[in-house]
Amino acid sequence: MKLILKNISIGLLVLMISMSFTSCAKKITFQTSSIVPAARGDVKIKQDENKNYLIQVELENLAEVSRLEPSKNAYVVWMESEDSMVKNIGQIRSDSKFLSSKLKASFETVTPVKPSKIYITAEDDADVQFPGKQLIMETKRF
């Protein structure tokens, strides 16, 4: 009886550990920006129970978009899929507060398509359908 309980306990432990690995978020760091070198950030991607992908972007030391040269109106987040489809998935909103020592920003969205790369551009309009030439930050392919 003790042997059966021990085997059941080990089986449940293995099952719980394997399930925790499948539900973990993948964390990808943005490469250093040549336009905003102080900016740092990462992307977390996690598949939910509906097989959609939750994308979370956290950034710090990101200069205000209006201070770029040339000045722009919005930081736009782009997703590239495994089949090289590029899609505007939203705009970065700044979390900077009065007397804040770091300019912080975050972004979160859900998509049914598996991303393979995330990048951020500075744009005149947040609703653009194709990325402009002012690439701010990007991840490597994952």
pLDDT at 9 over 80: no
* Structural domain count, the chain: 1
Amino acid at 28: I
Would 4 be classed as within a structural domain?
no
Residue 8 and residue 76: Cα distance in Å, rounded? 50
Looking at per-residue confidence, does 91 or 97 come out higher? 91
Residue 93 pLDDT: 78
Would 7 be classed as within a structural domain?
no
Q: What is the pLDDT of residues 18-59, one digit of tens each?
A: 554 445 678 999 999 999 999 999 999 999 999 999 999 999
Would 2 be classed as within a structural domain?
no
Looking at per-residue confidence, does 115 or 6 come out higher? 115
Would 11 be classed as within a structural domain?
no
Would 13 be classed as within a structural domain?
no
Strands 40-47 and 26-29: antiparallel
Would 14 be classed as within a structural domain?
no
Residue 115 pLDDT: 96
Full domain range(s) for residue 118: 25-138
DSSP class per residue in 28-58: EEPPPPSSSTT-EEEEEEEE-TTS-EEEEEE
pTM over 0.85: no
pLDDT at 100 over 60: no
pLDDT at 98 over 50: no
User: Which of the four pLDDT bands, split at 50, 70 and 90, describes residue 123?
Assistant: very high
Would 125 be classed as within a structural domain?
yes
